[in-house]
Amino acid sequence: MSRLEIRELNHAYVSNKPILKNINIEIDEPGVIAIIGPSGTGKSTLLRCINRLIQPTDGSILFKDKDVAKIKGKSLREVRRQIGMVFQEYNLVERLSVLENVLTGRLGYMSAWSAWRRNFSDKDIKRAFELLAFVGLSDFAMQRADSLSGGQRQRVGIARALMQEPVILLADEPTSSLDPKTSVEIMELLRQLAQDKGIPTLVNIHDVNLAKRYAQRMIGMSGGQVVYDGKPDGITDTHLKSIYGGESWLQ
């Protein structure tokens, strides 16, 4: 069985206005899987259904023998802690230190009482420092998160997700708020993780060229449906036209 299987997933925020229409995706292989498509086509909604930040209207999301769409309470939290998420606007807790932000990745494994006392295990703290070294932010551990630049914040976001020891990683427009050079660095980092640590990484991304460069599989979405699912070099201008509409932007 695959690590993640999305079957006939539908979602509508307002009834009769579906945003996701009958999505079927299967993910097993490590590596970057890019989801491209115009704004408002449901890419973010799809990712948020996978870790149930959004409750999908119907369909199923199979993750380790469990249907994420149906579980709740403790078993939902147990699924969530195995799914790392990286956000467009980093979503760090601004007033906490960088180290504390990374350590929040362990909250799913701790009791509320331990969380309240900041009682992280020595192993977790050691690992947090290792991850900060890995993303190149060792010197910033004790700084407040809001003192970092965009690219640095996104690295903290990635370290936080890795702290969860995720089985899969979701990245919602991780480069959209960054400059081109930093974007490439972040994509570089995500690919390295996805391949070296063998974590399947679903990345929502606007930039088709960036996606082609780093992804080993691409999923094109348009109007809430999957219209392409395959190798990056299989994507043609005809596909792009059907995904984004129009053609003037291709020149």
Outline where DSSP puts E strands in the chain. 4-11, 20-27, 31-36, 58-63, 66-67, 83-86, 168-172, 200-204, 217-222, 225-230
- Report if residue 108 touches other proteins, rule: CB under 8 A: yes
- Report if residue 82 touches other proteins, rule: CB under 8 A: yes
- Report if residue 93 touches other proteins, rule: CB under 8 A: yes
Rounded CA separation 50/136 (Å): 29
- Report if residue 95 touches other proteins, rule: CB under 8 A: yes
Tell me which of 43, 160, 191, 217 binds other proteins, using CB under 8 A: 160
Q: At what angle do helices 150-163 and 122-134 cross, to 10 degrees?
A: 140
Rounded CA separation 215/8 (Å): 24
- Report if residue 104 touches other proteins, rule: CB under 8 A: yes
- Report if residue 51 touches other proteins, rule: CB under 8 A: yes
3-state secondary structure of 102: helix
- Report if residue 120 touches other proteins, rule: CB under 8 A: no
Tell me which of 41, 45, 152, 164 binds other proteins, using CB under 8 A: 164
144 versus 239: smaller Cβ distance to other proteins: 144
CB 196 to other proteins: min, Å: 22
Judged by CB under 8 A, the stretch of 8-16, 97-105, 124-132, 202-210 that binds other proteins is: 97-105
Rounded CA separation 229/39 (Å): 18
- Binding residues for other proteins, per CB under 8 A? 51, 53, 77-83, 85, 87, 89, 91-96, 100, 104-110, 112, 115-116, 157, 160, 164
